[in-house]
Chains A and B, each alone.
Chain A
Amino acid sequence: MDTAKLAVERLWKIYTGEKGREVVAIQDLSLAVYANEFVSLVGPSGCGKSTLLMMAAGLEPISAGDIVCDGKPVTGPGRDRGMVFQSYTLFPWLSVAENIRFALKKSKLTRPAQDALVAEHVRLVGLEGFEQAQPNQLSGGMRQRAAIARALVYKPQMLLMDEPFGALDAQTRLQMQELLLQVWQAQRTTVLFVTHDVEEAILLSDRIYVMTARPGRIKCEVRVDLPRPRNLLDTESQPQFAALRRQVLGLIREEAKA
């Protein structure tokens, strides 16, 4: 296998709480995400999976160890890594199109080229007709579609997603998983995806890292060999899906008990 797109090497995150009490959030953790791979990170709540993602985004300082993206050590946020948050992060004073264009502020492309990129990504996430809508006129699912378009529009090397569908209702969640499958199948962007939803992780991923309870380490790596292209109905009805679900749920349950 070629070199990793994102390599996390012997990573530590230690918080110093009140009265100097130390909390080890992540302990000596290593993982790798290869080019065009969709990798999920699952684990019991509080295991540090979101913290890991924030460090990969360069938004949280690293206590020890390294995160390397495309051969360059991560020292801060950068346009090589796009991020989608769980909370709604559209700028409420901008329309959908203006929000997506905002991510191109640092782009050297001409205005017409930017327009074309924005239009292309509006189409990609199925928001045609809503270009001029304000975020507060949109449903939660549509806001996350726009946020995904905004994170992809400047063509980052990889996408970091922190429970992007966690705040959505069950129906919308399923729709968004289908949408992300289609987008990913079309673009093959490298993705590191944090979720607590095991079925979501299996449906979307090539590999799943299961984390331990705090202090967070990699408990186990699960390869998802379900055929692609996938879709919700067919993929989830395969016996292999049920077996994987059972395996991963079991691993997490061991941790939740511990």
Chain B
Amino acid sequence: MTSDAVSRQPERPQLRKAPVRLLELRADLPRRWYVTVGVGFISLFLIAWIGVTAAQWVVPLFLPSPAAVLAELGSQVQDGTLWLDLWASVYRISVGWLVSTVLALPIGILMGNFQFFEGLFEPFVDLLRYMPAVAFVPLTILWLGVGDTQKFAILFIGIFFQEVLLIMDNVKNVPHDLIQVSYTFGLSKWEVLRSVILPAAMPGIWDTFRITLGWAWTYLVVAELVAANVGLGYRIMRAQRFLETDQIILGILVIGVLGLITDMFFKWSYRRLFPWVSKR
């Protein structure tokens, strides 16, 4: 019954090369190209920065050269200011973010699972989350003084109310059928919560952690704007007073790199922890 074409073993023809199309709608870009263009764009940016400052098109006060920023980095590493600032800021961020998260996690999980708790907390959270954290700076100083507690408070106000709603949504995104099928195995609601809803919501919650920790860096600078004598945000503010733009740019870059590192950590650990999540 089978035709000749099927029974005989055909010779493998010369294969066509797939052309690389850089700008095709939704097409995959070869990994090599993907990295090249990304690195290239950053390089282009750096070259432009070097070029503009070397050609002295702008006054160095307005835009210091990369060399000046590097020199500033060198001196801050040597006299130890960078490490002190780094430690102070990382400590504040860690405590502020951890306190927010330790509270947001159980409350968000309750709100996502029980409409009672959603009804109880959501109006309150909605009211507070639109209040600008920055505007709380004078009040928090009045209430808590100028120590680290005030910094934690600003970070908390900036992060907690948003985080709680994000975690609620992460929990609500667990497919209803997964919950229902678990009930048919005879599980109680607490068992379903622990063995099904939490593991299913965890990847989303992990992403929420990544996003909120990113915000924490913004609120850190806000918290250190006033009433601080050490920290990356403080260094930027002090530099502003003396118009030391190289210090400002260094501070911004350091925060940027730290933010990037934490982001990369969360993305990396996400892939390790949740290999079962299919991307795209």
Contacts and interface: CB of A to CB of B under 8 A. Distances in A.
B5 interface: no
A34 interface: no
B141 to A, nearest CB: 46
A136 B196 contact: no
A219 B176 CA distance: 31
Contacts of A105: 185-187, 191, 195
A89 B177 contact: yes
Contact of A134 (B177, B181, B191, B276): B276
16 contacts: A58-B183, A79-B186, A83-B180, A83-B184, A85-B177, A85-B181, A87-B175, A92-B276, A92-B277, A93-B199, A103-B185, A105-B195, A106-B185, A106-B186, A106-B187, A151-B184
Given A91-B178, A91-B196, A59 B187 contact: no
A102 interface: yes
A89 B181 contact: yes
A59 B185 contact: no
B200 interface: yes
Contacts of B275: 134
Interface string A53-90: 00001110000000000000000111101110101010
Interface string B147-185: 000000000000000000000000000010110110111
Contacts of A77: 180, 183-184, 186
Given A135-B276, A136-B278, A91 B184 contact: no
Interface in A93-114: 93, 102-103, 105-106
Nearest to B176: A87
Nearest to B203: A93
Nearest to A89: B181
- 8 smallest A-B Cβ distances: which pairs? A77-B183, A106-B186, A79-B186, A89-B181, A136-B278, A83-B184, A103-B185, A92-B276
B274 interface: yes
Interface residues of A, number: 25
A154 interface: yes
Contacts of B200: 91-93
Nearest to A156: B184
Given A85-B181, A91-B178, 8 more contacts: A57-B184, A77-B183, A78-B184, A79-B185, A79-B186, A83-B180, A89-B178, A92-B277
A57 B183 CA distance: 10
Interface size class of chain B, counting residues whose CB lies under 8 Å from the partner chain:
20 to 34
Interface of A: 57-59, 76-79, 81-83, 85, 87, 89, 91-93, 102-103, 105-106, 134-136, 151, 154
B82 to A, nearest CB: 42
Contacts of A91: 178, 196, 199-200
Contacts of B175: 87, 89
B185 A102 contact: yes
Nearest to A136: B278
B199 A59 contact: no
Nearest to A95: B276
A87 B175 CA distance: 10
A57 B185 CA distance: 11
Contacts of B186: 77-79, 105-106
Nearest to B279: A136
B148 to A, nearest CB: 39
Contacts of B177: 85, 87, 89
A92 B187 CA distance: 18
A103 B186 CA distance: 8
A93 B276 CA distance: 6
A105 B190 CA distance: 14
Nearest to A76: B183
Nearest to A85: B177
* Most chain B CB atoms below 10 A, which of A57, A87, A91: A91
B184 A81 contact: yes
A77 B276 CA distance: 28
A57 B181 CA distance: 10
Contacts of B191: 105
* Most chain A CB atoms below 10 A, which of B177, B186, B191: B186
Contacts of B180: 57, 59, 77, 83, 85, 89
Nearest to B274: A93
Contacts of B181: 83, 85, 89
Interface string B251-280: 000000000000000000000001111100
B185 A154 contact: yes
A73 to B, nearest CB: 17
A137 to B, nearest CB: 9
A46 B184 CA distance: 24
A100 to B, nearest CB: 11
